[in-house]
Amino acid sequence: MALTIAPSALPLTKIKAENKNAKQIRGMQVFEVFKTEYPVIRAFLLHETPFQLLIATMLSAQCTDKRVNQVTPALFRKYPTPTDLGNACLENIEAMIQSVNYFRSKAKNIQSTAKIIASLYQDHIPNTLSELVKLPGVGRKTANVVLGAAFNHETITVDTHVKRLTQRLGFTSSDTPEKIESDLQTLWPEWTWSAYSSYLISHGRATCFARKPLCAQCKVNNLCPSRRQEAK
């Protein structure tokens, strides 16, 4: 039986050919519009320390920030440091985060990570990508979130919103986060990376939805080669 796709789920208009220089110029035009529309949010997850941001970001994988923000305050009050979390009873951690998707595997990862940070880094979070991605359950996206929000490094965080919007805006045709990040680094000045990621996430949540993007209301529709016909 053939799969029927709703019109709202159909791909947007194909992106026209564009050289790199033109794409860089358009990228900065989009950035300037976003700068007036959205505040720069260094992190969407509640935290007070780099360690708390790391744990919250790990918990947010395949889960909403809203849900994570509901469970982490109590978790962090009980286990504020890597040593505290590393020495905790695993069953207690699971009970505190059980409303989060994949809570059992995440409980194991956050505790294992806490133990490593406590023993190898004396409760201080490493501040390099190479060190962070070696921690259990920490991928490149999580590491970039922490480096950007906790250590003020310029990083590009490729989550579902950034992937979707940069593809629609014609800044990348890649599918993997690593390749998308590499593509964007060649187009955007480094000083924009963290802010641009934040703007795209905000715009993806407010306007450029996955199934029904609000092209007619989009402030950058005149700069988007994938906008729907009715938005012109």
CA angle 93, 151, 52 (to 5 degrees): 15
The percentage of residues in the chain with a pLDDT greater than 70, rounded to a whole number, is 91
Per the annotation, the verdict on 175 as an active-site residue is no
Per the annotation, the verdict on 14 as an active-site residue is no
Catalytic residue selected from 106, 159, 163, 183: 159
115 pLDDT above the threshold of 50? yes
pLDDT at residue number 10? 36
Domain ranges in the chain are 17-41+155-226, 50-151
Q: Which CATH architecture has domain 17-41+155-226?
A: Orthogonal Bundle (1.10)
**Interval 1-20 mean pLDDT:** 48
18 pLDDT above the threshold of 90? no
Segment among 13-17, 119-123, 187-191 with least mean pLDDT: 13-17
**Interval 146-173 mean pLDDT:** 95
Average pLDDT of every residue of the chain: 90
Catalytic residue selected from 23, 106, 123, 141: 141
138 pLDDT above the threshold of 90? yes
pLDDT at residue number 16? 58
Is CATH 1.10.340.30 what the domain over 50-151 is classified as, yes or no?
yes
Segment among 10-14, 33-37, 142-146 with least mean pLDDT: 10-14
User: CA–CA distance from 147 to each of 41, 42, 53, 152, 153 (Å)?
Assistant: 14, 10, 10, 6, 5
